[in-house]
């Protein structure tokens, strides 16, 4: 039950009805018996600025930002974290008492935390990473890997120019190749990450020959619908350690929850099961 002092947060997207965040934050609010609420906010792109400023005025603690607002919301922020600036997108806003809006990006944090809870054999400095895709998710993944100490990243994308822009923004240890060149770069990889939408329910499949990949390389997919993508299935079948993408979604939510509600929440098997149990 909410009191008049309830702490308020939410997620802004367009559309937003697919978002798992209200269920996820709702679970933590209940678990920690916090006097607070986290609500879905369907906001059209043209209304983004006014809504964010309105939520500040209404006393919200902050919000998550999802598709298609992650880049545009940067113009509304008074401060932007170094990492969000490097990635070029913001997914979490924290509203300060003076009315200023602080933008962060926790996708890379979520990606790394998820990997850390996976196979013990993986460390950022275990060797080169092969990252497929060059969208916003790839930017967050690459920035996080570099910050964690990955020695080298091979970024493979269908549209090579897009990957070149990512490399330009992130630094010289990102090497750019075409998605068709995986056989050349998989042999030395300690980590393989799919950040493309290929393999997602309703999207085209990802055709990738894993035979050049060492069996010790960790394979992870940021696609979590289906939870076990064809890539993860194939990797598991040949003995590679795998990490599914749901954990990234759950972990990226933790810093926002802590900033708004004052408790650092945990990602547990129960939480995973609860989020997965939601009707599609």
User: Catalytic residue numbers?
Assistant: 70
116 binds ligand ATR (CB under 6 A): no
CB of 195 to ligand ATR, least distance (A): 6
What distances in angstroms separate CA 207 from CA 66, 173, 204, 233, 239, one per listed residue? 28, 26, 9, 13, 19
CB of 275 to ligand ATR, least distance (A): 19
Question: In sequence order, which ranges of the chain are alpha helices (DSSP H)?
Answer: 21-31, 48-57, 82-87, 107-116, 136-148, 160-170, 182-185, 230-237, 246-252, 254-261, 269-276
Rule CB under 6 A: choose which of 79, 100, 159, 178 binds ligand ATR.
Answer: 159
Nearer to ligand ATR, 134 or 144 (CB): 134
- CA separation for the pair 26, 189 (Å, rounded): 39
For 143-178, the DSSP string reads: HHHHHHT-S-EEEEESSHHHHHHHHHHH-TTEEEEE
Nearer to ligand ATR, 34 or 144 (CB): 144
Rule CB under 6 A: choose which of 12, 48, 84, 137 binds ligand ATR.
Answer: 137
135 binds ligand ATR (CB under 6 A): yes
- CA separation for the pair 211, 223 (Å, rounded): 22
CB of 130 to ligand ATR, least distance (A): 14
Report the residue count for the chain.
Answer: 280
91 binds ligand ATR (CB under 6 A): no
71 binds ligand ATR (CB under 6 A): no
Mask of contacts with ligand ATR, 178-217, x by CB under 6 A?
-x---------------xxxx-----x-------------
**266 alpha-carbon distance from chain centroid:** 16
Question: Please, what sign has the CA dihedral across residues 111, 63, 18, 6?
Answer: positive
Residue with tokens 């979520």: 110
Report the DSSP pairing between strands 191-194 and 174-178.
unpaired
- CA separation for the pair 157, 177 (Å, rounded): 7
Rule CB under 6 A: choose which of 103, 108, 128, 136 binds ligand ATR.
Answer: 136
- CA separation for the pair 175, 191 (Å, rounded): 15
The count of chain residues that interact with ligand ATR, using the rule CB under 6 A, is 16
Nearer to ligand ATR, 79 or 178 (CB): 178
Nearer to ligand ATR, 68 or 149 (CB): 68
CB of 197 to ligand ATR, least distance (A): 5
Rule CB under 6 A: choose which of 76, 134, 156, 213 binds ligand ATR.
Answer: 134
Interface with ligand ATR by CB under 6 A: which residues? 133-138, 157-159, 162, 179, 195-198, 204
């Amino acid at each position: 039950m909410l009191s008049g002092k309830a702490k308020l947060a939410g997620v802004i997207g367009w559309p937003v009805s697919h978002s798992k965040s209200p269920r996820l934050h709702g679970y933590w609010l209940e678990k920690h018996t916090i006097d607070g609420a986290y609500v879905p906010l369907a906001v059209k792109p043209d209304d983004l600025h006014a809504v964010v400023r309105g939520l500040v005025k209404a006393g919200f603690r902050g919000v998550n930002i999802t598709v298609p607002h992650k880049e545009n919301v940067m113009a509304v922020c008074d401060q932007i974290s170094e990492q969000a600036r490097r990635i070029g997108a913001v997914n979490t806003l924290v509203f300060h008492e003076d009315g200023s809006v602080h933008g962060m990006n926790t996708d890379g944090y979520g990606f790394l935390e998820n990997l850390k809870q996976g196979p013990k054999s993986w460390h950022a400095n275990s060797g080169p990473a092969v990252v497929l895709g060059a969208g916003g998710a790839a930017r967050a993944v690459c920035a996080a890997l570099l910050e964690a100490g990955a020695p080298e990243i091979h970024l493979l994308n269908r549209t090579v120019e897009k990957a070149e822009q990512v490399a330009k923004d992130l630094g010289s240890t990102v090497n750019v190749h075409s998605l068709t060149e995986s056989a050349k770069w998989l042999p030395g990889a300690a980590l393989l990450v799919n950040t493309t939408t290929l393999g997602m329910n309703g999207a085209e499949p990802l055709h990738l020959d894993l035979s050049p990949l060492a069996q010790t390389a960790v394979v992870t997919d940021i696609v979590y619908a289906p939870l076990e993508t064809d890539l993860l299935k194939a990797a598991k079948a040949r003995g590679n350690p795998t990490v599914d993408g749901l954990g990234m979604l759950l972990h990226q939510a933790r810093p926002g929850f802590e900033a708004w509600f004052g408790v650092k929440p945990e990602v547990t098997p129960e939480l995973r099961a609860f989020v997965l149990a939601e009707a599609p």
